[in-house]
Amino acid sequence: MDKPLPSALARRISFRQLQVFEAIARHENFTRAAEELFLTQPTVSMQIKKLEESVGAPLFEHIGKKIFLTDIGKELYQSVRDILESLAQFEMQAADMQGMKTGHLRLAVVTTAKYYAPRMLGMFCQKFPGIEVSLKVTNRERLLDRLLQNMDDLYIMGRPPRNDDSHFISLIENPLVVIAPRNHPLAKRKGLLTFEDIADQQFIIRERGSGTRRAIEDHFMERGREIRIKMELGSNEAIKHAVASGLGISILSRHTMSLGIQSGPLVELDVEGFPISWPWYIGYPAGKRLSVVAKTFLDFVASDAARIDTTEILTAAAV
Ligand code: PGA
């Protein structure tokens, strides 16, 4: 028979203590952890005291009203997360072996994909009702941070990291188009506008760290121009409102227009060199062990079942 794994600590601590510790570290708060686990605060404190005795060092520091993990606490937190992640993987694997698709999918997408991703997830959840989904929406820079910290199962973004062996497959076109208020002089001009026609305009543009912004800056740089920024805003919706109120023009993903540009206050300008092509990819970083549920989702995405009607996204909006 195999020998037991040589961990003296494993004999001294309980799984419950690790669960309590994980909840406190995640919430950075004893009371909230106690509430989540339906325990009293003295019980939670006692569990941590015992765990600290077994480890032989403090796991938390109390500074003012806040708590922080000590260096040893941080190491233990990482190990406990690995253990829990491994158990979750096992749970999904076991369900899969019994013919059930259950488990949790953590999908993280760039801000601009928040219009598209829920439609795809809706179809997925209909097909696999036993799978729970959480969707994290954030800008490109923060998404890359999450990817480095291995916080999610799968990621959707434009231009995925290519300096490692990450696994990304192409997902859908994401055309970036020039938008202006309906009464803008450029909107009244007939025929194709040149790049020079728009290059001197005042732009309302996404915050630094946004993938859309990066694509636009690259586009201007390739043409030897610098974009004139009138205002930076952290949301596509806020940009649409600012453009509609005449503060400037913008370049946004056509996905952000999908629900109603035809009759609204905005129009898409027909400009040479546009739309900028900034397609989205779906995937995960190198070395990641995909859960059964994440694999199921990737298979679904690659199948016909996930095909969303993208006509309105891929063809210019009628103006
Ligand atoms: P963003 O990213 O939402 O951060 O602008 C979009 C993208 O990378 O396609």
- Rounded CA-CA distance 257/251 in Å is 11
Structural domain of residue 49, as residue ranges? 8-77
Count of H-run helices and E-run strands, the chain: 13, 13
Task: Report the chain (319 residues): mean pLDDT per 10 consecutive residues.
Answer: 75 94 95 95 96 96 92 95 89 80 92 92 92 95 93 94 82 95 93 94 96 96 95 95 95 82 81 95 89 92 72 53
DSSP state of 3: P
pLDDT at 200: 92
Whether residue 37 is found in the same domain as residue 155:
no
H-run or E-run covering 252 = strand 250-253
Whether residue 212 is found in the same domain as residue 240:
yes
**Residue 93 is assigned to a structural domain of this protein:** no
Whether residue 45 is found in the same domain as residue 111:
no
Whether residue 64 is found in the same domain as residue 130:
no
Whether residue 188 is found in the same domain as residue 264:
yes
8 Å CB contact between 309 and 121? no
pLDDT at 107: 97
Nearest CA to ligand 1 atom 2: 211
**Residue 85 is assigned to a structural domain of this protein:** no
CB 156 less than 6 A from any atom of ligand 1: no
CA 209 to centroid of ligand 1, rounded, Å: 8
Whether residue 187 is found in the same domain as residue 241:
yes
**Residue 3 is assigned to a structural domain of this protein:** no
The residues, ordered by sequence, that sit 6+ positions from 59 with a Cβ below 8 Å of its Cβ are 21, 48, 51, 52, 69, 70, 72, 73, 76
**Residue 87 is assigned to a structural domain of this protein:** no
* CATH number of the domain that residue 64 is part of: 1.10.10.10
DSSP string covering 79-99, please?
HHHHHHHHHHHHHHHHHHHTT
pLDDT at 319: 36
CA 299 to centroid of ligand 1, rounded, Å: 24
**Residue 257 is assigned to a structural domain of this protein:** yes
8 Å CB contact between 101 and 133? no
* CATH number of the domain that residue 129 is part of: 3.40.190.10
Whether residue 200 is found in the same domain as residue 167:
no
pLDDT at 93: 83
- Rounded CA-CA distance 231/241 in Å is 12
Q: Is 209 left (phi over 0), alpha (psi -120 to 50) or beta?
A: left
- Rounded CA-CA distance 236/248 in Å is 14
Whether residue 252 is found in the same domain as residue 188:
yes
pLDDT at 149: 86
Could you give the number of structural domains in the chain? 3
Q: What share of the chain is helix, strand, coil (3-state, %, to 5)?
A: 45, 20, 35
Q: How many CB atoms lie within 10 A of CB 98?
A: 8
**Residue 91 is assigned to a structural domain of this protein:** no
**Residue 48 is assigned to a structural domain of this protein:** yes
Whether residue 155 is found in the same domain as residue 300:
yes
Tally of CA atoms within 13 A in the half-sphere of 153 that contains its CB: 21
Whether residue 165 is found in the same domain as residue 290:
yes
**Residue 142 is assigned to a structural domain of this protein:** yes
Whether residue 154 is found in the same domain as residue 299:
yes
Q: Which atom of ligand 1 is nearest to the CA of 280?
A: 9
Q: Which residue has the tokens 């994290």?
A: 136
8 Å CB contact between 312 and 258? yes
Whether residue 145 is found in the same domain as residue 202:
no
8 Å CB contact between 285 and 157? no
CB 236 less than 6 A from any atom of ligand 1: no
